[in-house]
Chains A and B, each alone.
Chain A
Amino acid sequence: NAGVMQNPRHLVRRRGQEARLRCSPMKGHSHVYWYRQLPEEGLKFMVYLQKENIIDESGMPKERFSAEFPKEGPSILRIQQVVRGDSAAYFCASSPQGERKLFFGEGSRLTVL
């Protein structure tokens, strides 16, 4: 019973490039959350998705960031034209329908040079 799978675990990009982070939720989970964490800080909510729907994107920057959770395949967090301030660990979590529990992946660490 695989947990939440995130890839890549580490990603290095130069300023102006695009970063794509993928998240496969646990089997049977229909809800996906993306969080961002800076060193020595807590988790900042970015976006909450169900299959093919964005439920809450109040934590997502208005520009350059987008997220999707298609009917088939993993959830994708996309950051266009990355800047150094985007360097962080990005965590994905999934939860089953009707339960208020989050199961986290091991994160994707983005470094922008």
Chain B
Amino acid sequence: TQLLEQSPQFLSIQEGENLTVYCNSSSVFSSLQWYRQEPGEGPVLLVTVVTGGEVKKLKRLTFQFGDARKDSSLHITAAQPGDTGLYLCAGARDYGQNFVFGPGTRLSVLP
């Protein structure tokens, strides 16, 4: 049983479109991170959210942490081919515990 679920599993869109991917859990997390991983490389941290309801923006990416700290979303505006990759969410329940990863959303942005 996955502690973190991500949807959709796969997403293929055209350049310039907007998209939202989701990360959901029945557990409460003290913090949640989003990472992007490209083929043959390790994941790269995009953002950390720690407060329920928090919204963070990183250029065309907007991250939101749910009020109950059980879910998060990542919205990309005007997607570009360079956004292609595997988007992973990861949660930590308490300090000193490990980070649990979701299965990822594989995004393909076509030119």
Contacts and interface: CB of A to CB of B under 8 A. Distances in A.
A22 B82 CA distance: 31
A102 interface: yes
A47 to B, nearest CB: 8
Contacts of B48: 100-101
Contacts of B104: 41-42
Interface residues of B, number: 28
Interface string B91-111: 010011111111110100000
Contacts of A43: 43, 88, 90, 101
A59 interface: yes
B64 interface: no
B98 A33 contact: yes
B43 A33 contact: no
B98 A45 contact: yes
